[in-house]
C-alpha cells in the first residue's frame, strides 16, 4: 500500500505506546488508500445489545470461571451492562489490562457477525529486543481490524489509544 502522507515511524507514539506505531501507520494508509487486496468480510453489524451479549459471553468463558478473575466479575458485569457504544468495549478491555493486539480482533468478533479477513502476514521490521519484534508482528493485522471498525462501524480513532503493551 502506498501512502501519500508522511508515514508514522517507530517512536512517534501516535496511539500511546510506540509498540503500536506501525499499527497506526497501517490504519492511516488504509484510511487514505482503502484496503487494497485485503478482504474484509462480515454478514452484519450487531446492534449494541448483541455486542454487550457477545462481550458478556466472552468474559464468562474466558475469565469468570477462573478463580483469579472471579473477584472482578461483578464490576466487569456492571461495566458490560452499561456499554452504550463500541468505544465502551475498548474502554472495558483497556481497563481490564488488555493490549490493543488482543482487543481489536476480539471486539471485531463482537461487532461484526461472521467477521473474517484475508491472511495478513506478520511484520518483520520490528524495532528493539526480540520480544518487541514479536509483539510488533501483529501490527498490520491490528491496524486492519481498527480500520474495519472505524470505516464500517464508525468507531472513533481515540478508542484505539492508550493501551498498554
What tens digit of pLDDT does each residue of 8-38 get? 665 555 787 778 888 898 999 999 999 999 9
- Is the residue at 141 inside a domain? yes
Which residue segment(s) compose the domain that 139 sits in?
Answer: 42-160
- Is the residue at 99 inside a domain? yes
- Is the residue at 110 inside a domain? yes
Q: pLDDT tens, 71-127? A: 889 999 999 999 999 999 999 999 988 999 999 999 999 999 999 999 988 776 766
Which burial class, exposed, middle or buried, applies to 53 when counting CB atoms under 10 A from its CB (0-12, 13-18, 19+)? middle
| Average pLDDT for 125-138 | 73
Cα angle 153, 122, 147; round to 5: 15
- Is the residue at 9 inside a domain? no
- Is the residue at 19 inside a domain? no
- Is the residue at 143 inside a domain? yes
- Is the residue at 126 inside a domain? yes
Measured CA to CA, the distance from residue 18 to residue 33 in angstroms comes to 23
Instruction: Categorize the per-residue pLDDT at 44 as very low, low, confident or very high, splitting at 50, 70 and 90.
Output: very high
| Average pLDDT for 140-163 | 96
Element (H, E) at 70: helix 67-70
Could you tell me the three cell numbers for 14?
Answer: 501516535
In this prediction, residue 154 carries a pLDDT of: 97
Number of structural domains in the chain: 1
Could you tell me the three cell numbers for 78?
Answer: 456492571
Distances (CA, A) of 47 to 52, 85, 97, 103, 112: 9, 10, 25, 19, 10
- Is the residue at 55 inside a domain? yes
Measured CA to CA, the distance from residue 142 to residue 150 in angstroms comes to 12
Amino acid at each position: 500500500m502506498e501512502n501519500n502522507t508522511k508515514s508514522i515511524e517507530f517512536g512517534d507514539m501516535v496511539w500511546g505506546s510506540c509498540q503500536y506505531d506501525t499499527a497506526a501507520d497501517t490504519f492511516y494508509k488504509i484510511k487514505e488508500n482503502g484496503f487494497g487486496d485485503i478482504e474484509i468480510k462480515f454478514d452484519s453489524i450487531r446492534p449494541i445489545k448483541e455486542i454487550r451479549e457477545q462481550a458478556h459471553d466472552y468474559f464468562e468463558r474466558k475469565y469468570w470461571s477462573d478463580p483469579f478473575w472471579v473477584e472482578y466479575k461483578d464490576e466487569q458485569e456492571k461495566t458490560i451492562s452499561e456499554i452504550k457504544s463500541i468505544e465502551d468495549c475498548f474502554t472495558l478491555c483497556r481497563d481490564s489490562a488488555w493490549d490493543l493486539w488482543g482487543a481489536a480482533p476480539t471486539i471485531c468478533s463482537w461487532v461484526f457477525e461472521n467477521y473474517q479477513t484475508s491472511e495478513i502476514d506478520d511484520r518483520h521490521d520490528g524495532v528493539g529486543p526480540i520480544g518487541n519484534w514479536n509483539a510488533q508482528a501483529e501490527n498490520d493485522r491490528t491496524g486492519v481490524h481498527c480500520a474495519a471498525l472505524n470505516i464500517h462501524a464508525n468507531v472513533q480513532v481515540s478508542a484505539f489509544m492508550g493501551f498498554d503493551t
